[in-house]
A and B are shown apart, each in its own frame.
Chain A
Amino acid sequence: MVQPELDHRRFLAEGRFMLQRAPSGRFVHPPRIAEPGSGDTLDWVAADGRGTVHSVTVVRSKPPAANYNVALIDLVEGVRLMSRVDGIAPEAVQIGLAVVAKIVVENDAPLLVFVPQAP
């Protein structure tokens, strides 16, 4: 039985970025126990990992804390999620930037982020 948040965290801890898919082929995020609208069952499948920045904001921090970006990423599977783009200055992240998923460890927990796709 799907335990959405627990499963999600476990997959990330295993180094896997997984998404839920409905029988219709539609992908779903955030994780839940059934497809929104239909109520159909959902299966976990490996995500492609590629996406595009749909929107981005830079959170301005009080020094010495660093500014950081918060981005909405459109995945090739057709779902959108909140994440962060690493490997580039926060102010340089632009809408439309092609990115790819990466799992990092932050605050002792696995975290899904994105980095710019290699040209």
Chain B
Amino acid sequence: MNGFPRGRTAIVGAATFGIGRSPGFEAVDLAAHASLLALADAGLRPADVDAVFIAQPQDTLAGLSFSQYLGLRPKITDNNRSGGSAFLLHLEHAALALDAGLCDVALVAYGSNQATASGALVQTSLSSPYEAPYRPLRPISSYALAAARHMHRYGTSKRQLAEVAVAARRWAQLNPEAVARDELSLEQVVGARLVSDPLGVRDCCLVTDGAAAIVLTRAERARDLHARPAYVLAAAAATTHADISSMPDLTVTGAVESGARAYAQAGVGAADIDVVQVYDAFTINTILFLEDLGFCAKGEGGAFVEGGRIAPGGALPVNTSGGGLSYCHPGMFGLFTLVESVRQLRGDAGARQVAGAELALAHANGGVLSSQATAILGTAATL
């Protein structure tokens, strides 16, 4: 028994707001905008919300401030912070609480104005005193150390990493909301200025503003609120470490665990998934997660992404929004993987729509490959 209430809850509202640059707004304003849009998507108002799940970039008590802002009196206030994966943990916990009858309408929200406020990724955690004196760039050097090890062990190349960035860009070119849509070639990615070897500036996610929100209810109510609910078939998470020096194996993430549990909950396997969103803070992430989630064998992720396999027209649609690399990256991207999954399952993804998408996998990462969380959503046909 895995205990997860497969298909008994659903996402009935999903929205983004302020993607790119949103001068004049505070992070909480953006989160509130996205939340109102997501609630309107489900025909609901703030007063209907009785469970709130939020992790804001800098406000560690956002569960309180955000509830005050929207006038919520939540029975459940979840401010869980596991890095960018937090929102998939929120989804997991919201599904459990809804199914248990502890709440009726759950709102998961995020907003960041990091691009206009500081122009850089906002740091939300403390540096380890055993790492900080060596001045690793946070967080890229940690990912670079994992990438270097993957390249050493499996022969993964800079060009294969570049395939990830180019595929993301080609998807972004089909997404009018995406921030980075100009042409990008493998040569440009490979030849881009190095930041922390082997990762260059085009291996890195964007720095943008943006907000997202989703609204969940129990499945029996979902059909009354939205014509095409995205049912929550699985949500599972794993934590393996905090600092990169304590990661058990630099080439294997906790996605192995979270993915296996999510597949078991949903009763499906990697081969059944129609569309994939993985948190691509850096190009190496996509390769690691495709391996760890079973889309290819360990060590074969580099070869797997070659030849545009994950790009538009390829065999496996991955990061159809353009991902953190080319769609947006407002500090924590996890919630955006869920919104894009919902859009694909609804058939609302416009030029980037994956035909016949019934099963969507969303995977998010927190810290420095530290927290991994996997969700599987499906249409009514998958229940």
Q: Which residues of A contact B (CB under 8 A)?
A: 5, 8, 29-31, 54-60, 68, 70, 72, 80-84, 91, 95, 106, 109, 111
- Bound CA–CA A84/B136 (angstroms): 10
Main secondary structure of the interface of A (DSSP, over half): strand
* Residues of chain A contacted by B246 (CB below 8 angstroms): 30, 80
Considering the complex, give the chain A residue whose CB is closest to the CB of B150: A55
Which residues on B sit within 8 Å (CB–CB) of A58?
194, 196-197
| A59 touching B244 in the complex, CB below 8 Å, given contacts A30-B130, A82-B131 | no
Cβ-defined contact, B194 with A106, below 8 A: no
Interchain CB contact under 8 A, B134 and A70: yes
Q: Is B129 positioned at the interface, with any CB of A under 8 Å from its CB?
A: yes
Tally chain B residues at the interface, Cβ within 8 Å: 28
Q: Which of A8, A60, A95, A109 has the most CB of B within 10 A?
A: A60
From B141-149, B159-167, B261-269, the one touching the partner chain is B141-149
Contact A56 B145, CB 8 Å, known A29-B130, A82-B131, A111-B133 = yes
Q: How far is the CA of A68 from the CA of B136 in the complex (A)?
A: 9
Q: Chain B residues with Cβ under 8 A from A30's Cβ?
A: 128-130, 243, 245-246
Known pairs A57-B196, A72-B244; A95 contacts B148 (CB<8 A): yes
Q: Are B141 and A57 in contact, CB atoms less than 8 angstroms apart?
A: yes
Q: Is the CB of B149 within 8 A of A82?
A: no
Q: Counting chain B CB atoms within 10 Å of each CB, which of A57, A81, A83 scores highest? A: A57
- Of the A-B pairs whose beta carbons lie under 8 Å apart in the complex, a sample of 12, sorted by A's number, is A5-B129, A30-B129, A31-B130, A55-B152, A57-B145, A58-B197, A59-B196, A60-B194, A70-B141, A70-B196, A72-B245, A81-B130
Chain B: minimal CB distance from A76 (Å)? 16
Flag if B130 contacts A82 (CB, 8 Å).
Answer: yes
The distance from the CB of B85 to the nearest CB of chain A, in whole angstroms, is 22
Apart from A56-B148, A70-B136, A82-B128: 17 A-B pairs, beta carbons within 8 A? A29-B245, A55-B146, A59-B195, A60-B193, A60-B194, A60-B196, A70-B135, A72-B145, A72-B244, A72-B250, A80-B245, A81-B245, A82-B130, A82-B131, A82-B134, A82-B245, A91-B197
Q: Are A82 and B136 in contact (CB under 8 A)?
A: yes
Q: How far is the CA of A79 from the CA of B195 in the complex (A)?
A: 28
Q: How far is the CB of B125 from chain A (nearest CB, A)?
A: 15
Q: Is B355 part of the contact surface with A, judged by Cβ < 8 Å?
A: no
Among B213-257, those with CB < 8 Å from A are 243-246, 250
Interface flag for B100 (CB, 8 Å): no
**Which 9 residue pairs across A and B have the least CB separation, nearest first?**
A57-B144, A30-B130, A55-B149, A58-B197, A55-B145, A82-B245, A82-B131, A70-B136, A95-B152
- Expressed in whole angstroms, the Cα–Cα distance for A11 and B219 within the complex equals 60
Q: How far is the CA of A58 from the CA of B244 in the complex (A)?
A: 16
Partner of A59 from the list B128, B141, B245 (CB cut-off 8 Å) is: B141
B61 interface contact, C-beta 8 A: no
Interface presence of B315 (CB below 8 A):
no
A58 to nearest B CB, angstroms?
4
Please indicate the chain B residues that have their CB under 8 angstroms from the CB of A111 in the complex.
133
A91 and B134 alpha carbons, distance in the complex (Å): 16
Would you list which residues of chain B between 175 and 234 have a CB under 8 Å from chain A?
193-199
Q: Does B137 contact A (CB under 8 A)?
A: yes
Tell me the residues in window 117-133 of chain B with beta carbons closer than 8 Å to chain A beta carbons: 128-131, 133
Q: What residues on B are CB-neighbors of A29 within 8 Å?
A: 130, 245
Complex-state Cα separation, A54 to B145, whole angstroms: 9
A91 / chain B contacts, CB cutoff of 8 Å: 197
- Closest chain-B Cβ to A78's Cβ sits at a distance in Å of 13
Residue of B130, B135, B243 touching A68 (CB-CB under 8 A): B135
CA distance A81 to B246 in the complex (A): 8
B131, B197, B199 pick with most chain A CB within 10 angstroms: B197
Q: What is the CA–CA distance of A58 and B144 in the complex, to the nearest angstrom?
A: 9
Q: Which residues of B contact A82 (CB under 8 A)?
A: 128, 130-131, 134, 136, 243-245
